[in-house]
């Protein structure tokens, strides 16, 4: 038996003679589905992850730059003091002899962003682990034997964190 609803649409009859219910194609107006919430939370999580990782990388880069800056200030100060009176500093015979004195274990100075101390002071305070770099220098006569007062200053800076050293060479003449 067929039953017509109020709008005149035939809904058919169920097994017991009741009208059949048809499914509506309308979506729920009450909220979001579970999949939509899951996708939105995934997107928000990814955005936060990328923002936090960018911040951490920037912090690491700024820290390395700050360390380098302090190393260069120490380097400039040493170069200035040596250049003002090179005759009072130790002079070795050759670059090879100087390299033997500039192994990371023998570098005589320890440094941080704000302080420089000698190896003896560092060992006495037993706080050598807190220093960010070590450095040392040697002077040897310049290759050209023409100028007697011209020396090559070789400074080696050993970065404790990166376990790598950098060499810098300057020509030094008394002022």
pLDDT digits (tens, 9 = 90+) for 96-116: 888 888 888 888 888 877 777
Residues whose CB falls within 8 Å of the CB of residue 114, separated by 6 or more in sequence, listed in order: 70
Residue 154 lies in a domain: yes
Query: Mean pLDDT throughout 33-50?
Result: 93
To the question of pTM greater than 0.95 for the whole model, the response is no
Q: Does 126 map to a domain?
A: yes
Q: In what order do the strands lie in the sheet with 164-172?
A: 116-118, 109-111, 133-141, 151-159, 164-172
Question: Which domain does 55 fall in, by range?
Answer: 34-172
pLDDT category at 119 given cuts 50, 70, 90 is confident
4 compared with 137, residue with greater pLDDT: 137
60-93 residue pLDDT tens: 888 888 877 877 777 777 777 776 766 656 677 7
Is 9 a domain residue?
no
Alpha carbon 64 to chain centroid, angstroms: 5
Is 6 within a domain?
Answer: no
From residue 77, alpha-carbon distances to 71, 72, 99, 116, 137 in Å are 10, 9, 21, 11, 12
d(CA 35, CA 12): 35
Instruction: Count the domains in the chain.
Output: 1
- Residue 155 has phi, psi (to 5 degrees) of -110, 130
Nearest of 104, 137, 134 to residue 121 by alpha carbon = 134
In a domain, 10, yes or no: no
At residue 146's C-alpha, the angle toward residues 86 and 84, to 5°, is 15
pLDDT at 45: 96
| Residue 8 maps to a domain | no
* Residue 82 located in a structural domain: yes
Q: Kindly state whether residue 104 falls inside one of the protein's structural domains.
A: yes
Over residues 45-61, the pLDDT tens digits come to 999 999 999 999 998 88
């Amino acid at each position: 038996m067929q039953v017509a609803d109020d709008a005149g649409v035939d809904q058919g009859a169920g097994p017991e003679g009741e009208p059949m219910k048809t499914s509506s194609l309308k979506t729920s107006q009450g909220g979001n589905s579970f999949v939509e919430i899951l996708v939105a939370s995934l997107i928000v999580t990814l955005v936060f992850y990328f923002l936090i990782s960018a911040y951490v990388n920037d912090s690491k880069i700024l820290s390395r730059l700050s360390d380098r800056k302090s190393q260069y200030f120490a380097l400039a100060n040493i170069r200035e003091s040596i250049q003002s009176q090179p005759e009072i500093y130790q002079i070795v015979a050759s670059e090879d002899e100087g390299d033997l004195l500039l192994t990371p274990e023998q570098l005589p100075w320890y440094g941080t962003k704000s302080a420089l101390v000698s190896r003896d002071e560092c060992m006495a305070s037993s706080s050598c682990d807190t220093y960010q770099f070590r450095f040392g220098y040697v002077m040897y006569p310049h290759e050209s034997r023409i100028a007697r007062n011209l020396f090559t200053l070789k400074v080696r800076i050993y970065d404790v964190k990166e376990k790598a050293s950098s060499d810098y060479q300057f020509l030094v003449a008394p002022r």
